Each structure stands twice: as C-alpha cells, then as structure tokens.
C-alpha cells in the first residue's frame, strides 16, 4: 500500500450536486435532497441517519430549543446508524458546514436561523469561491506552461 503524499491532501473539500427543482418535495425527502446537494450524503447511501438528525433539528428550530444527544438517540431508536458515537459524528459533520452549532444546552440549527443565509455567507464565500479561485490559479499555470 503506497503512502499518500502530504502535499496531495486537500486543504478543504466540498461536494456540490445539482438536482431537479424542489417543487414537489417536502419533509424528510426535501431534507435528504438538500444534504445530497451539499455533499453530506452520498447518492444511494442506505445509512442516512444524518437526514433524520438534520430534519429533527429543522423541526426543533420552531420551538427554539437546543437538543441533547439523548433526544436524537431516543427519537431514532432502532434506525440503522443511530448509535451515540455515529449521531455525534453526523452532528460534527453538520457543524463543519456551519449548518448546526453546539451550545452548552445542546445542538441547534445555527442561531435557529434560515439555511439559505448559511449557504450564502459560509459555503459560497469560504468554501466554493476559494476552491474555484485556486482551480483558476492551476488553470492559469497550465495555460502558461
């Protein structure tokens, strides 16, 4: 097995997918397509507990009540991938994209806010734009070579 060179590891990584317009989607299916489109879920992935976790958080933002890990585990009892370590891992992945934040009282959608501003202010500005700019730098260097 060959070792991967340190210089080949990405500084950041994001996967974006474009699906049909969400006109006829709602609830869990809408949540699933959103997570697929931002790369937090892979197409055809059967262990999609992250969809349920994010959906629970979206529903909870109306009550403005942060949720503890135990709430997720109890709500997802019997679902594949609903173990405490995996729930924590999925919450961490949602936190990395700034969709979710952890407070002393538990987890919540960032500031109980809307999702679109998070896409505009964080994902577009700090992940997509810099990645495109770097790709352009590589393209320029290739064109000059």
Residue ranges of the domains in the chain?
Answer: 14-113
pLDDT recorded at residue 75: 94
The CA distance from 99 to 83, in Å, is 21
pLDDT of residue 5: 62
User: What pLDDT, on a 0 to 100 scale, did the predictor assign at position 46?
Assistant: 79
Specify the pLDDT at position 133: 95
CATH of segment(s) 14-113: 1.10.10
What pTM did the predictor assign? 0.86
What token pair was written down for 56?
């629970």
pLDDT at 116: 95
Element holding 107 (H helix, E strand): strand 106-109
Which residue in this structure is represented by tokens 């070792």? 3
Which stretches in the chain have pLDDT values below 70? Answer: 1-6
Q: What is the pLDDT of residue 118?
A: 92
pLDDT for the residue numbered 47: 80
Q: Which residues pair with 108 in a beta bridge?
A: 101
């Amino acid at each position: 097995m060959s070792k991967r060179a340190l210089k080949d590891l990405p500084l950041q990584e994001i996967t974006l997918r474009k699906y049909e317009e969400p006109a006829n989607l709602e609830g869990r299916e809408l949540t699933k397509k959103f997570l697929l489109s931002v790369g937090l879920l892979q197409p055809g992935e059967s262990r999609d507990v992250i969809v349920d976790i994010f959906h629970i958080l979206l529903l909870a933002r109306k009550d403005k009540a942060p949720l503890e890990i135990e709430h997720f585990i109890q709500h997802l009892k019997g679902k594949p991938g609903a173990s405490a370590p995996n729930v924590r891992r999925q919450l961490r992945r949602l936190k990395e994209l700034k969709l979710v934040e952890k407070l002393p009282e538990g987890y919540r959608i960032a500031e109980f806010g809307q999702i679109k501003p998070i896409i505009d202010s964080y994902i577009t500005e700090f992940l997509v734009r810099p990645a495109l700019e770097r790709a352009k730098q590589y393209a320029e260097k290739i064109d000059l070579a």
